[in-house]
């Protein structure tokens, strides 16, 4: 038993070291975000000194140059509404596809599943052209596109769950005079909650961080740049010059994610595990 | 050849007019001429109505703020919305490609010469009947199509060379055993090399970290080498063969390129292996802070030099030296002057937007507000007759460009890089330079790559 | 019940289907068609047969990016899974602070690829500064940079899945083995690993598909520099599309090939999982 205690203590120390290593990149960016832009490349690992300390100027710079709060707003708008749309519409579709057995539904089901394995590059050009021709190049359009793109995985996961839900309850509701819509919202949807959380988390993580789709569809000329697009735009056209603003912006981009993670950690980890096991 | 001659002539003419203009203050001919033009552009504004809007995809990140403020002023004055978006360094073609596919595509963009026109001709509107074209001093500078239409109008004449800090040079000349006594003696590569290497050895005495600023080889920040510096060997090769374009570059002046490039990377404040992390802006900051004595760049860089916090270099000390590479007879070589900036209007945009875009550009180059920003903030030497003699940029680098152009003993080097096959070619060249600087590629391989990529890209475009 | 529900097709399916058509079905069909065309915009496409596919192999870019992707995927799949499994073993030992460790290790997974890429670009350059070189000076640095970045991002994710797997190993099984005098190593290889095989399969395929389709991290970290030597397939396709005028068709054709390879991987995954399920 003593031996075990010792080995656990060693393990504990090793893990502590690993934690430090894991956090180093983040500390590194935070550290440099407080240095004057010309001092960063001199000694990137040094703590800011009186001479090199830049206060919040990098943050102010970064926020101004990219209009960060607007980007944050659009990122949040697109993510929240896309996730809501995905939850609502794909769960309904999945319900229909599982409960109604026809040729069409099985073709549709396989089509949705098929879309999961197609890499984005395959459709990026045609999709962004189509989105432009049909005027989907705005945040509302993005919600529609994300619904389309997220449909594959979400329907797959919902279907997997609905299959295991016994028919009796629904039939009882129908006998009570509920139409299918009422049955779905009153009976089925509440049962779907655990899967819904998983679907929501997987999609939120993906949409919040997605770069190429919003970049290609919305472009640079509109005010609707999301955070990843803004970061890439800043680094491309200014960032090479202003490392300070870039560091600050990186920190700003991480903060909301960390807050979200720390508050919903339990759901996120459970959701990810469930998603992995089912997907 | 004819075009090149014409551009030199234009530059000379402009320079002469500047010099005489300074002498005779009573000259009113040009402003008088420009008046009806300005009125015409106002008419255009009326015609454009409130329905048109402008989306300008800007090529030069260093002047983004100026264009943005011009856009705001124009909108305030006329109510026409103007949007300015800047492409990241080295990604203009790529950004234009993805943006033009959008519903809200750029209405005003730029092409970089005949090659650019070939790529974008489906999107270039004919500008023959615009006032802007009528103001162009030398009509042969414009990009014309096979049908005789005008598809690109140059909006700036620029020059580049080696910018040096005269204060540091004077300090060096005063040292014992200096390899030259004044800048006038540095008129070929041999002397330049002797001076630079001696200065590098005495850098502590001179209070600098190196002679040359970083040879920025970061991806997208390597255009000073794969485009501007590469122009010199190509210029001499074209000159020998009496051509203006070729499908097969021999790169016969490769050794000359290597001469100057080695000098840059070996006598710098940055170790060659680190150059891949340096951007143009780093180089300009090093120069502005007095850490280095020389940097290769063009007159557009003045804003970057003067805009650096803690800038120590004085305006009167900022001067140009031609880029010497060890070619025979280079003593009479001047700066590289020309243009790669041609405005084009998106022919696929709505007629209202096209008219609005033309009106905006005409406003920029004819209204007092626009002209003031062009001359003072952008520092452009604009090739239009709407600019009076006293409306030339007064910054030291532009003054130097004008001085070199008017010096009859110097021959300006034309911008032959507008005939470089593609951005891809330039990127490949730049990447090879980076590997050469880092020591992982031999010069022979770089040379072979340039020859091979040139031929391959020219062939790809011909298809 | 099915009958009444059937009539609700417009409400239950059509909204998703419309979005799905715009985002996927139409672009996919058009994409396949355009890979046989020369085009600049969709409206002026010209059918040219297999020319684009032939052109793919005219330059070495695509093949190089394929080999780079392959090399990268193999190395990162092995490293990520080994490290993640080791961490999972450590964190199932009931030591102090397990929750905190888990929280920290998982966190990088939530940060987006573009942002991760730039963080690591700065970090690695700062380290390499001491050796007077940079991330893009040599393709080897870019390669290991990407591997480190991917490890940092994915280890936590895989660790979580392995933990879930390990927690499902019945304790009486392990105790029985201990009573039989099995060593720690034997328990690991004979009991634990066989019991978490499903988790291993899941993790392998997740890492395969994530590594194979990597784009954002690649774009931000090196953007393919130097000389496209660190460009993975997705980035190469993007560059062909948007970086070279006149090569849009070739880009689309490359995308089709990319899709075929990705589909082959997914089908293998399906086959393997099916076989596993039968065995159980």
Place A134 in a pLDDT band, splitting at 50, 70 and 90: confident
Q: Do C122 and A247 touch (CB under 8 A)?
A: yes
Residue B125: alpha-carbon gap to chain centroid: 24
- Listed residue (B228, B184, B441) closest to B325, CA to CA: B228
Contact partners of B by the rule of 3+ C-beta pairs under 8 A? A, C
Please give the Cα distance from C159 to A272 (Å, whole number): 11
User: How many Å apart are CA A243 and CA A31, to the nearest integer?
Assistant: 12
Domains in chain A, ordered, with CATH?
A: 71-278 (1.10.3720.10)
Q: Give the distance from residue A15's alpha carbon to the nearest chain C alpha carbon, in angstroms.
A: 7
Mutation test of the interface with chain C: which of A30, A87, A125, A129, choosing the one with the most C Cβ atoms within 10 A?
A125
CATH of the domain at C68: 1.10.3720.10
Note the pLDDT tens digit of each residue in A180-203. 899 899 889 999 998 999 999 989
pLDDT tens digits for C20-66? 999 999 999 999 999 999 887 777 788 998 999 998 988 788 999 99
DSSP class of residue C1 equals -
d(CA B258, CA B254): 6
At residue B277 the predicted structure's pLDDT band, cuts being 50, 70 and 90, is confident
Angle between helices B254-266 and B189-201 (to 10 degrees): 20
Q: Is residue B280 part of a domain?
A: yes
What is the model's pLDDT at position B40?
Answer: 38
- Choose between A68 and C242: higher pLDDT: A68
Q: Read off the pLDDT band of B236 (50, 70, 90).
A: very high
Let me know if residue B327 belongs to a domain: yes
pLDDT score, position B34: 36
Answer yes or no: is pLDDT of A145 > 90.
yes
Q: Residues B384, B303: one domain? A: no
How many Å apart are CA B336 and CA B17, to the nearest integer? 20
For chain B, how long is the longest CA-to-CA vector?
70
The pLDDT of residue C24: 94
Name the pLDDT band for C182 (thresholds 50, 70, 90). Answer: confident
In angstroms, the separation between the Cα of residue C45 and the nearest Cα of chain A is 12
Among B277, B423, B435, beta carbon nearest to C226? B435
User: Which residue in the set C44, C137, C242 is minimally distant from B94, CB to CB?
Assistant: C242
B140 touches chain A (CB under 8 A): no
Residue C4 and residue A29: Cβ atoms within 8 Å?
A: no
Cα gap B119→A155, rounded to integer Å: 43
pLDDT tens figures, B68-82:
999 999 999 999 999
pLDDT at B15 over 60: no
* Residue B351 resides in a domain: yes
The 8-class DSSP code of residue B281 comes to H
Interface check for A13 against chain C (CB to CB < 8 A): the answer is no
Q: Is the Cβ–Cβ distance between B284 and B225 less than 8 Å?
A: no
A53 vs A121, which has greater pLDDT? A121
Q: Please indicate, yes or no, whether residues B420 and B310 belong to a single structural domain of this protein.
A: yes
**Least-confidence region, from A248-257, B2-11, B19-28:** B19-28
CB B344 within 8 A of CB B126: no
ipTM of predicted assembly, 2 dp: 0.89
Helix, strand, or coil (residue C70): helix
Residues C45, C123, single domain; the answer is: no
Q: How far is A205 from chain B (nearest CA, A)?
A: 26
The shortest C-alpha distance from B311 to chain A (Å) reads: 12
Q: What is the pLDDT of residue B17?
A: 44
Q: Convert B38-59 to b/e letters by CB count within 10 Å (16 or more is b).
A: beebbebbeebeeebbbbbbbb
Task: Check CB contact under 8 Å for B461 and C246.
Answer: yes
Is C119 in contact with A205 (Cβ distance < 8 A)?
Answer: no
Residues C166 and C213 in one domain: yes
pLDDT at B463 over 70: no
| Residue C102 host element (H or E) | helix C98-106
> Tens digit of pLDDT for each residue in B389-405?
888 888 899 999 989 98
> C35, C16, C232: which is closest to A122 by C-alpha?
C35
CB contact under 8 A, A12 and C215: no
Give me the mean pLDDT over the C230-253 stretch.
89
Residue B205 and residue B100 in one domain: no
Asked whether B162 and B320 are in contact (CB, 8 A), the reply is yes
Rg of chain B's alpha carbons, rounded to an integer?
22
What average pLDDT does chain B have? 86
Q: Out of A75-84, A138-147, A162-171, C210-219, which region has the weakest mean confidence (pLDDT)?
A: A162-171
The total of other beta-carbon atoms located within 10 Å of residue B405's CB is 25
Pair (B243, B319) in one structural domain: yes
Q: Is the pLDDT of residue B3 over 80?
A: no
Q: What mean pLDDT comes out for the span A227-256?
A: 80
Compute the distance between CA of residue A131 and CA of residue A177 in angstroms, rounded to an integer: 42
Q: Over chain C, what is the mean pLDDT?
A: 89
- Is a pLDDT exceeding 90 seen at residue B265? yes
Give the DSSP H or E segment for B149: none
Q: Considering only A232-246, B148-162, C242-256, which range has the smallest mean pLDDT?
A: A232-246
Q: Provide mean pLDDT across the span C86-103.
A: 89
User: Does residue B332 belong to any structural domain of this protein?
Assistant: yes
E strand or H helix at B180, and its extent? none
Give a yes or no: residue B400 inside a domain.
Answer: no
Q: Residues A133, B103: contact at Cβ < 8 Å?
A: yes
Residue pair A271/C110 in contact by the 8 Å Cβ criterion: no
pLDDT score recorded for residue C245: 73
Distance from the C16 Cα atom to the nearest Cα atom in chain B, whole angstroms: 24
**One domain for residues C48 and C72:** no
> Do residue C243 and residue B119 have CB atoms under 8 angstroms apart?
no
Query: Is there a single domain that holds both residue C67 and residue C190?
Result: yes
Closest to B164 in 3D by CA, of B285, B303, B321: B321
Nearest residue of chain C to residue B439 (CA atoms): C137
Are B132 and B198 part of one and the same domain?
A: no
Q: Is C125 on the interface with B (CB under 8 A)?
A: yes
Mutate to test the interface with C, among B435, B436, B450, B463 (most CBs of C within 10 A): B435
Query: Would the pLDDT of B9 be above 80?
Result: no
- Report the chain A residue with the minimal C-alpha distance to residue C9: A96
Nearest residue in A to C215, CA atom: A212
Judged against a pLDDT cut of 90, whether residue B211 lies above it is answered with: yes
Option in C22, C30, C259 nearest A119 (CB): C259
Query: Over pLDDT 70: what percentage of chain B?
Result: 89
Residues B326 and B440 in one domain: yes
Structural domain count of chain C: 2
| C265 shares its domain with C151 | yes
Structural tokens at position C186: 């034997």
Q: Measure CA of the first residue to CA of the last residue in chain B; give whole Å.
A: 26
Q: Do residues A228 and B77 touch, judged by C-beta distance below 8 A?
A: no
Alpha helices (H) in B225-335, listed in sequence order: 231-241, 254-266, 280-288, 302-306
Q: Which domain range does residue C45 map to?
A: 2-52
Asked if pLDDT for residue C9 goes beyond 80, the answer is yes
Q: Do B84 and B167 fall within a single domain?
A: no
All chains having 3 or more CB pairs closer than 8 angstroms to chain C? A, B
Q: Residue C168: is it exposed, middle or buried by C-beta count within 10 angstroms (0-12/13-18/19+)? A: exposed
Q: Note the pLDDT of residue A278.
A: 64
* pLDDT score, position B50: 53
When pLDDT is averaged across residues C168-184 and rounded to a whole number, the result is 87
Q: Could you say which of B94, B219, B271 has the minimum Cβ distance to residue C136? A: B219
Boundary-marking domain end, from C52, C72, C94: C52
| Confidence at residue B47, expressed as pLDDT on a 0 to 100 scale | 41
- pLDDT tens, C222-239? 888 788 889 999 999 998
**C77 band by pLDDT with thresholds 50, 70 and 90:** very high
Two tokens, residue A82: 């896309």
Q: What is the pLDDT of residue C3?
A: 78
Reported as a pLDDT band with limits 50, 70 and 90, residue A67 is confident
Tell me, yes or no, whether B48 and B175 share the same domain.
no
Radius of gyration of the CA atoms of chain C, in A: 23
Residues of C with Cβ-Cβ distance to B271 under 8 angstroms? 132
What beta strand segments (E) does B104-157 contain?
A: 108-111, 143-144, 150-154
Whether residues B194 and B315 share a domain: the answer is yes
Inter-chain residue contact B438 with C242, CB threshold 8 Å: no
pLDDT at B7: 52
Q: Which residues of B touch A221 (CB under 8 A)?
A: 55, 57, 83, 85, 99, 102, 104, 106
Residues of C in contact with A22 (CB under 8 A): 104-105, 107-108, 152
Q: Is B219 on the interface with A (CB under 8 A)?
A: no
Q: How far apart are CA B228 and CA B297, in angstroms?
A: 8
> Do A235 and C118 count as a contact with CB atoms less than 8 A apart?
yes
Query: pLDDT value at position C227?
Result: 80
Q: Does A162 touch chain C (CB under 8 A)?
A: no
Provide the domain limits for residue B190: 159-337+413-462
The tokens of B383 are what? 């090739």
pTM over 0.90, yes/no: no
Whether residue C95 sits in one domain with residue C12: no
pLDDT at A165 over 50: yes
Which of C235, C241, C245 to substitute to test the interface with B, most B CBs within 10 Å?
Answer: C245
Radius of gyration of chain A (CA): 24
Which tops the pLDDT comparison, B15 or B413? B413
Reported confidence tier of residue A156, pLDDT bands at 50, 70, 90: very high
> What is the total count of domains within chain B?
2
pLDDT band, residue B36 (cuts 50/70/90): very low
What does the DSSP assignment read for chain A?
A: -HHHHHHHHHHHHHHHHHHHHHHHHHHHHHHHHTB-TTTTTT-TTSPP-TTTB-TTHHHHHHHHHHTHHHHHHHHHHHHHHHHHHIIIIIHHHHHHHHH--SHHHHHHHHHHHHHHHS-HHHHHHHHHHHHHHTT--SHHHHHHHHHHHHHHHHHHHHHHHHTTS-HHHHHHHHHTT--HHHHIIIIIHHHTHHHHHHHHHHHHHHHHH--HHHHHHH-SSSS---HHHHHHHHIIIIITT-HHHHHHHHHHHHHHHHHHHHHSHHHHHHHHHHHHHH-
What's the pLDDT at A112? 94
Question: Which whole number is the average pLDDT over A42-48?
Answer: 80
- Tell me, yes or no, whether B439 and B458 share the same domain: yes
- Interface with chain B: mutation pick from C39, C134, C235, highest number of B CBs within 10 Å: C134
Which stretch of B306-310, B459-463, C74-78, C146-150 has the lowest confidence by average pLDDT? B459-463
- Same-domain status, B278 and B167: yes
Q: How far is C227 from chain B (nearest CA, A)?
A: 5
How far is residue B190 from each of residues A268, B172, B179, B230, B315, measured CA to CA in Å?
67, 17, 11, 19, 28
Task: With beta carbons less than 8 A apart as the criterion, state whether A74 and A225 touch.
Answer: yes
Residue of B58, B87, B103 for testing the chain A interface, max A β-carbons within 10 Å:
B103
Q: Is the CB of residue C60 less than 8 Å away from at least one CB of chain B?
A: no
Is B435 within 8 Å of C227 when comparing Cβ atoms? yes
Query: In percent, how much of chain A has pLDDT > 70?
Result: 96
A219 contacts on B by Cβ (under 8 Å): 98-99, 102, 104
Mean pLDDT taken over chain A: 88
A residues 64-83 lying closer than 8 A (beta carbon) to C: none
Per-residue pLDDT at B276 exceeds 80: yes
Segment among A48-62, B24-38, B89-103, B315-329 with least mean pLDDT: B24-38
Q: Are residues C199 and C158 in the same domain?
A: yes
Please count the CA atoms within 13 angstroms of the CA of B27 that sit on its side-chain side.
Answer: 16
pLDDT tens track for C112-129? 999 999 999 989 988 888
User: CB distance from A33 to chain C under 8 Å?
Assistant: no
Average pLDDT for C194-198: 87
Q: Which residue has the tokens 């891809």?
A: B424
* CATH code of B448's domain: 3.40.190.10
Residues of chain A whose C-beta is under 8 A from some C-beta in B? 38, 41, 128-129, 132-133, 135, 137, 215-216, 219-222, 233, 235-238, 240-242
- Three-class secondary structure of residue B150 per DSSP: strand
Quote the CA–CA distance of A26 and A254 in Å, as a whole number. Answer: 9
| Phi, psi values for residue A82, rounded to 5° | -65, -45
Residue B88 DSSP class: P
The pLDDT of C164-193, averaged and rounded, is 87
Mutate to test the interface with C, among B97, B270, B277, B436 (most CBs of C within 10 A): B277
Flag whether pLDDT at B372 surpasses 60.
Answer: yes
Q: At residue B10, does pLDDT exceed 60?
A: no
Q: Tell me which of B40 and B229 has the higher pLDDT.
A: B229
Share of chain B above pLDDT 90, in %: 60
Please report which helix (H) or strand (E) contains residue B461, including its range: helix B443-462
| A212 has a pLDDT exceeding 80 | yes
Do C220 and C112 sit in the same domain of this protein?
Answer: yes
- Where is the domain boundary, B373, B388, B403? B388
Nearest CA in chain C to A141: C19
Q: Is residue C47 located within the same domain as residue C141?
A: no
**Hey, are the CB atoms on C137 and B94 less than 8 Å from each other?**
no
Whether the per-residue pLDDT at B43 is higher than 50: the answer is no
B208 shares its domain with B299: yes
- Is the previous residue joined to B186 through a cis bond, with omega within 30 degrees of 0? no
CB of B271 within 8 Å of a chain A CB? The answer is: no
Q: What is the pLDDT of residue B440?
A: 86
Nearest neighbour of A132 by CB, restricted to B57, B64, B103: B103
Q: How far is CA C228 from CA C68, C81, C232, in A?
A: 10, 28, 9
When pLDDT is averaged across residues B237-250 and rounded to a whole number, the result is 93
């Amino acid at each position: 038993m003593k031996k075990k205690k010792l080995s656990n203590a060693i393990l504990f120390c090793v893990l502590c070291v690993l934690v430090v290593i894991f956090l180093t990149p983040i500390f590194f960016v935070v550290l440099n975000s407080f240095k004057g832009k010309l001092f960063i490349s001199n000694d990137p690992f040094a703590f800011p000194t009186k001479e090199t300390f830049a206060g919040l100027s990098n943050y102010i710079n970064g926020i101004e140059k990219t209009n960060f709060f607007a980007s944050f707003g659009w990122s949040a708008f697109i993510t929240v509404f896309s996730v809501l749309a995905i939850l609502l519409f794909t769960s309904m579709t999945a319900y229909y596809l599982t409960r109604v057995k026809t040729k069409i539904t099985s073709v549709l089901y396989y089509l949705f599943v098929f879309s999961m394995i197609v890499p984005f590059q395959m459709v990026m050009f045609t999709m962004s052209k189509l989105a432009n021709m049909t005027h989907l190049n705005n945040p509302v359009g993005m919600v529609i596109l994300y619904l389309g793109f997220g449909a594959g995985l979400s329907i797959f996961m919902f279907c997997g769950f609905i299959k295991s839900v016994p028919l009796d309850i629904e039939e009882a509701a129908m006998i009570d005079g509920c139409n299918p819509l009422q049955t779905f919202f009153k009976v089925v949807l509440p049962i779907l909650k655990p899967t819904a959380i998983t679907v929501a988390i997987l999609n939120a993580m993906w949409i919040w961080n997605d770069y190429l789709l919003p970049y290609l569809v919305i472009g640079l000329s509109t005010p609707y740049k999301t955070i990843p697009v803004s970061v890439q735009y800043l680094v491309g056209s200014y960032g090479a010059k202003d490392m300070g603003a870039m560091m600050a912006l990186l920190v700003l981009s991480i903060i909301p994610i960390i807050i979200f993670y720390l508050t919903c950690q339990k759901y996120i980890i459970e959701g990810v595990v469930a998603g992995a096991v089912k997907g | 050849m004819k075009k090149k001659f014409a551009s030199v002539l234009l530059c000379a003419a402009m320079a002469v007019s500047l010099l005489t203009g300074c002498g005779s203050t009573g000259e009113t001919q040009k402003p008088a001429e420009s008046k009806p033009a300005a009125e015409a552009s106002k008419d255009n504004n009326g015609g454009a109505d409130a329905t048109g809007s402008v989306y300008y995809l800007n090529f030069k990140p260093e002047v983004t703020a100026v264009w943005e403020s011009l856009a705001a002023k124009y909108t305030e004055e006329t109510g026409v919305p103007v949007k300015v978006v800047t492409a990241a360094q080295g990604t203009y073609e790529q950004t234009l490609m993805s943006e033009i596919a959008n519903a809200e595509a750029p209405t005003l963009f730029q092409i970089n010469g005949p090659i650019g026109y070939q790529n974008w001709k489906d999107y270039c509107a004919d500008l023959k009947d615009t006032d802007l074209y009528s103001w162009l001093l030398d009509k042969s500078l414009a990009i014309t199509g096979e049908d005789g239409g005008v598809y690109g109008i140059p909006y700036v004449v620029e020059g580049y060379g080696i910018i040096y800090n005269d204060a540091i040079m004077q300090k060096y000349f005063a040292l014992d055993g200096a390899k030259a006594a004044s800048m006038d003696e540095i008129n070929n590569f041999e002397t330049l090399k002797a001076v630079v290497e001696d200065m590098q050895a005495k850098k502590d005495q001179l209070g600098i970290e190196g002679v040359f600023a970083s040879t920025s080889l970061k991806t997208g920040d390597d255009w000073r080498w794969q485009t501007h510096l590469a122009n010199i060997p190509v210029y001499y090769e074209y000159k020998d063969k009496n051509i203006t374009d070729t499908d097969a570059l021999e790169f016969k002046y490769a050794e000359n390129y290597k001469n100057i490039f080695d000098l840059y990377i070996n006598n710098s404040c940055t170790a060659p292996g680190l150059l891949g992390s340096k951007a143009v802006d780093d180089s300009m900051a090093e120069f502005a802070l007095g850490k280095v004595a020389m940097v290769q760049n063009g007159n557009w860089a003045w804003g970057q030099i003067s805009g650096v916090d803690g800038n120590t270099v004085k305006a009167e000390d900022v001067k140009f030296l031609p880029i010497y590479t060890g070619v025979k007879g280079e003593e009479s070589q001047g700066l590289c002057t020309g243009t790669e900036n041609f405005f084009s209007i998106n022919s696929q945009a709505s007629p209202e937007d096209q008219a609005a875009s033309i009106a905006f550009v005409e406003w920029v180059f004819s209204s007092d507000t626009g002209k003031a920003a062009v001359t003072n903030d952008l520092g452009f030497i604009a090739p239009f007759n709407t600019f009076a003699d006293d409306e030339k940029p007064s910054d030291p680098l532009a003054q130097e460009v004008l001085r070199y152009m008017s010096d009859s003993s110097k021959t300006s080097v034309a911008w032959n890089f507008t005939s470089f096959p593609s951005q891809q070619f330039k990127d490949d060249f730049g990447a090879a330079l980076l590997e050469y600087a880092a020591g992982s590629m031999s010069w022979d391989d770089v040379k072979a790559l340039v020859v091979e990529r040139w031929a391959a890209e020219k062939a790809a475009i011909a298809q | 019940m099915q009958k009444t529900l059937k009539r609700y097709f417009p409400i239950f399916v059509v909204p998703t289907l419309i979005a799905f058509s715009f985002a996927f079905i139409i672009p996919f069909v058009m994409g396949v068609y355009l890979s046989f065309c020369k085009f600049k915009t969709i409206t002026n496409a010209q059918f040219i047969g297999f020319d684009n596919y032939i052109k793919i192999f005219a330059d070495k870019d695509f093949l190089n990016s394929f080999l780079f992707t392959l090399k990268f995927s193999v190395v990162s799949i092995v490293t990520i899974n080994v490290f993640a499994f080791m961490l999972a073993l450590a964190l199932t030992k009931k030591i102090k602070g397990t929750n905190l460790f888990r929280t920290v290790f998982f966190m990088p997974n939530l940060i987006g690829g573009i942002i991760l890429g730039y963080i690591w670009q700065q970090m690695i350059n700062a380290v390499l500064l001491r050796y007077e070189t940079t991330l893009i000076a040599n393709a080897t640095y870019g390669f290991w940079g990407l591997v480190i970045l991917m490890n940092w991002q994915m280890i936590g994710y895989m660790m979580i899945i392995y933990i879930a797997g390990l927690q499902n190993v019945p304790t009486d099984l392990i105790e029985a083995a201990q009573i039989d005098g099995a060593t720690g190593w034997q328990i690991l290889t004979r009991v634990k690993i066989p019991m978490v095989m499903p988790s291993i399969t899941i993790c392998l395929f997740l890492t395969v598909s994530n590594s194979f389709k990597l784009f954002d991290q690649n774009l931000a970290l090196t953007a393919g520099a130097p000389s496209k030597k660190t460009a993975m397939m997705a980035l190469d396709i993007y560059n062909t599309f948007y970086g070279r005028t006149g090569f849009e068709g070739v880009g689309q054709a490359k995308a089709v090939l990319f899709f075929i390879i990705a589909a082959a991987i997914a089908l293998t995954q399906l086959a393997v999982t099916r076989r596993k399920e039968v065995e159980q």
